[in-house]
Structure 1
């Protein structure tokens, strides 16, 4: 009971000046995405590898963080940094899906208290469809920068170039929409439960939800992986309680979904 009270108090408390400064930086690093306008297509063709394809249509604007959540921000919001590879601006890792979701909820409350976002806005994990949409950035190639594996070093940390490096976020080139480390560095949690049936994909881009699901979805590949796992479409089935030094997450800022 005491633990629940402490958590509840932390969620409702106003942010400290140090927290506010980090949250302001976090807020400034979101990239607006407006499906159907300018360079943002309204739809995405998706398949889960079962030979079927479904068209996902995005009808609402949202924003995506240009970086994976860094350690200084994660610690400021949660009071903890579980990462193996320490560095304030290194991406936080060793975080399971529930912990990533908890960060998003806490960040939402703090940012509302700081008047950085509205009461009808929230920080959350991307749905898998949203993740692939922003990773592809309007392209239909293997990677957001094309089909050449030889170009991967310019955009991603992977098993071929990560040895001896412990980089902060954003040291490689971004994808066409300005997202850094969307290929490689760390696997990124999505909000979805795992599914291999394309027909079950929500056509408006929502997350796949299954009662009692024990597995979720990781996307993007990591510093431990070879080129084929860093593509815009590769999916990894992971236990939702997985903690690994190659797993982190990226956030979405969007209007709160209406029930």
Structure 2
């Protein structure tokens, strides 16, 4: 799948819309000439990654967003503008609180791995209201679309939630209809997924999704029915076990939490594990795609053509808002009873990024590497278009970088 290059008007809005100078527009003109001569850009294009990353932060009021861009692209096309924005923000808001940093153990500084961003239809670091995640250079990108059924997701024991059970006395799993499980009042609802086989990847999409290969999931596992919500994340923050994410307002409690890094997710998983006595983790990339396909082999779980009401993305049908993703569960569930696997927010998975499936494991396990600094994100976001909604789409992101369209869902073994 290929994305069209950005047009002059878009480049002008990216630069001038943020208060850039005429000189910057001149740079934009030159940049457009380069893009125009290139024709269309593949989903896995480094140029598109950078443009998408910039577009996702271009309206941000946080200096840390521009610092993250400079970390990934110290000599990028928007480097001068990013530095200017940082100086302006610090000069006008000297007391502006910094975005909270993840409380993770020190690790070797990651080598600049581009952060995934959405396609030419750029994205904006939005304030959470529902799912969203994008890619940066050399990282995954986001997609979006689909009717949004308004409302808040509720659970059988909602309103009766107390403090999480201590690790020494894990809460007894609450079995619900359809194989649903909830290990504690503040925990995400899980859906049990039976073992099986499927063809992972695609021979007609991005090179990173090749070669298609047969994978056998030999053990049952449980995966989040929805993406982790703002309310669920804040329960961890309230326990001082996770960083408070300023861009996820408490009132958006049923929206998917976003702007979280891979490192952030590890803190949340550690808290859930300690709280419940169950070992929580991110799904492997193979488990994620197996669950997303829901037993189907088509481009989307509902078929080969986009259909209104199944995914939250910018050209997946009304209702849709570019400001933020819809509340979790606002769109139809796939055959396995999982919501928002396509669109909403990009979802972190456990695997280290590999540029293709050559030599990938065929048993569904996590494909990891020592000192991995870039991890896989899947599913696209509400900011991208229908081509990014296909079940095989994959991208990458630096583990330490927070991006406004990136979120996650949890998984655990059924033992």
* Interval containing the TM-score (normalised by the shorter chain): 0.7 to 0.9
Matched, 1:32 2:201: no
How many angstroms apart in 1 are the aligned matches of 2:388 and 2:224?
22
Structure 1, 132-141 or 205-214: larger mean CA deviation: 205-214
1:122-153, Cα deviation, whole Å (9 max, x unpaired): 1110000000000000101111111122x1x3
In the superposition, the TM-score normalised over structure 1's length comes to 0.79
Corresponding residue for 1:43?
197
1:151-176, Cα deviation, whole Å (9 max, x unpaired): 1x302211232235653211111111
Q: Cα distance 1:174–1:111, how it changes in 2: closer, same or farther (>3 A)?
A: same
Q: Cα distance 1:172–1:216, how it changes in 2: closer, same or farther (>3 A)?
A: same
Residue from 219, 230, 247 that aligns with 1:84: 247
Corresponding residue for 1:185?
344
How many angstroms apart in 1 are the aligned matches of 2:186 and 2:351?
24
Secondary structure at 1:236's aligned position in 2? strand
In the superposition, the TM-score normalised over structure 2's length comes to 0.51
Q: Cα distance 1:165–1:46, how it changes in 2: closer, same or farther (>3 A)?
A: closer
Structure 1, 67-76 or 205-214: larger mean CA deviation: 205-214
Contact 2:375 2:398 in 1 (8 A): yes
Contact 1:71 1:81 in 2 (8 A): no
1:25-68, Cα deviation, whole Å (9 max, x unpaired): 46572111111xxxxxx212224736533221111111111000
Corresponding residue for 1:8?
none
Residue from 119, 124, 131 that aligns with 2:281: 124
Question: How far is 1:83 from its partner?
Answer: 5.4
Secondary structure at 1:109's aligned position in 2? helix
Residue from 310, 327, 341 that aligns with 1:155: 310
Question: How far is 1:195 from its partner?
Answer: 0.6
How many angstroms apart in 2 are the aligned matches of 1:54 and 1:253?
24
Flag structure 1 segments of 5+ consecutive residues without an equivalent: 5-15, 36-41, 113-120
Q: Cα distance 1:81–1:170, how it changes in 2: closer, same or farther (>3 A)?
A: farther
Corresponding residue for 1:140?
297
Secondary structure at 1:99's aligned position in 2? helix
How many angstroms apart in 2 are the aligned matches of 1:92 and 1:33?
23
How many angstroms apart in 1 are the aligned matches of 2:219 and 2:198?
14
Contact 1:158 1:226 in 2 (8 A): yes
CA RMSD of aligned residues (A): 2.5
Question: How far is 1:226 from its partner?
Answer: 0.8
Matched, 1:53 2:212: yes
Flag structure 2 segments of 5+ consecutive residues without an equivalent: 1-102, 105-160, 166-170, 172-181
Q: Cα distance 1:88–1:47, how it changes in 2: closer, same or farther (>3 A)?
A: closer
Question: How far is 1:23 from its partner?
Answer: 5.7
If you compute each CA radius of gyration, which structure gives the higher value, 1 or 2?
2
How many angstroms apart in 1 are the aligned matches of 2:244 and 2:311?
24
1:184-231, Cα deviation, whole Å (9 max, x unpaired): 110000000001232321121111112222211110000111111111
Question: How far is 1:85 from its partner?
Answer: 4.5
How many angstroms apart in 1 are the aligned matches of 2:336 and 2:185?
19
